[in-house]
Amino acid sequence: MTAQIKDILYPLLRRVEDFFIPPLCIVCDGLLSDDRDGGGGIWLCPSCVSALVQNHAQRDACPRCAQNRKTRECACEVAWDFPFERVYCVYDYDNTLSVIAKHIKYHGKSGLAYRIGAVGAPLIPTDFFDGIDAVIPVPLHRLKLRRRGYNQAERFAGGVLTGLGMDTTLLRNDLLSRVKNTKTQTRLSRDERRENLASAFAVNGQKAGRLTGTRVALVDDVFTTGATTEACAAALLGAGCASVIVLAMGRD
């Protein structure tokens, strides 16, 4: 089959497929918009895109710990013990975002992570990345990376940088590694998570000198207790980073 025939035939077959088996939203099974270049892409219907917009709009986020103070009062003014300076989360981890996050992590939808980053980018404060020398995604252990095929935090970060029109070479996945394949942290307390993550991350020795005096933005998908980003930040600061801030897709 020639390339010219493919160019004609494949779009036609796709339209026929969409007619008999309409593509549905991964969150609510609603019909997708005809405009696939809109906010939801090939994954989210207009209603669920609107739900994300409302999610962000209704957040009264603490500028330091990112807790939505409409749902729970934070205590970071008296109990802040993280090594990073502050954290910003684009959304609350509500029913819509939890389904999105699970599809990203467990159902191979790496493009969705990138899309959520690109769509959410304009919602991030304009000065968040001021003076940042490197954007580092929270790394996966090599075995988990091989099994999943991608790092969702890295894809989300790439979408953010592209959405903001920033230099994507700031995104560095070669400076920090996960050297300990830890057990799942879903049901662990913060102290248990800290213990589970002890010595789990390390700066790559041959490139450690490049971090001296740098300001780093650490990126994760979901911020819960902060134990993971805390362990990452401790490793980066121990290697000579001047400061670390955190960006996450959702605040649980």
Alpha carbon distance 208, 228 (integer Å): 20
Tens-level pLDDT at each residue, the chain (252 residues)? 555 554 555 455 445 444 445 689 999 999 888 766 667 889 999 999 999 999 999 999 999 999 999 998 888 888 899 999 999 999 999 999 999 999 999 999 999 999 999 999 999 999 999 999 999 999 999 999 999 999 999 999 999 999 999 999 999 999 999 998 876 766 677 777 777 777 899 999 888 888 999 999 999 999 999 999 999 999 999 999 999 999 999 998
**How many Cβ atoms sit within 10 Å of the Cβ of residue 48?**
22
CB distance 245 to 217 below 8 Å: yes
Q: How many domains does the chain have?
A: 1
Torsion-angle region of 167 (φ positive above 0: left; ψ -120 to 50: alpha; else: beta): beta
Please indicate, yes or no, if residue 149 is contained in any of the structural domains. yes
Alpha carbon 46 to chain centroid distance? 21
Please indicate, yes or no, if residue 46 is contained in any of the structural domains. no
Of the candidates 102, 95, 111, 169, the residue with the CA atom closest to the CA atom of residue 136 = 169
Alpha carbon distance 158, 117 (integer Å): 7
pLDDT at position 77 is: 85
Torsion-angle region of 149 (φ positive above 0: left; ψ -120 to 50: alpha; else: beta): left
* Surface-to-core class of residue 208, CB atoms within 10 Å of its CB (0-12 exposed, 13-18 middle, 19+ buried): middle
Packing angle of the helix pair 95-106, 110-120 (nearest 10 deg): 140
**How many Cβ atoms sit within 10 Å of the Cβ of residue 16?**
10
In one-letter notation, the amino acid at residue 245 is: I
Please indicate, yes or no, if residue 129 is contained in any of the structural domains. yes
Please indicate, yes or no, if residue 30 is contained in any of the structural domains. no
CB distance 68 to 60 below 8 Å: yes
Please indicate, yes or no, if residue 68 is contained in any of the structural domains. yes
pLDDT at position 2 is: 57
pLDDT at position 33 is: 82
CB distance 116 to 156 below 8 Å: yes
Please indicate, yes or no, if residue 242 is contained in any of the structural domains. yes
- Residue 133 domain boundaries: 60-251
Q: What is the CATH number of the domain that holds 164?
A: 3.40.50
Please indicate, yes or no, if residue 87 is contained in any of the structural domains. yes
Parallel, antiparallel, or unpaired: how do β-strands 201-203 and 176-178 relate?
Answer: antiparallel
Please indicate, yes or no, if residue 49 is contained in any of the structural domains. no
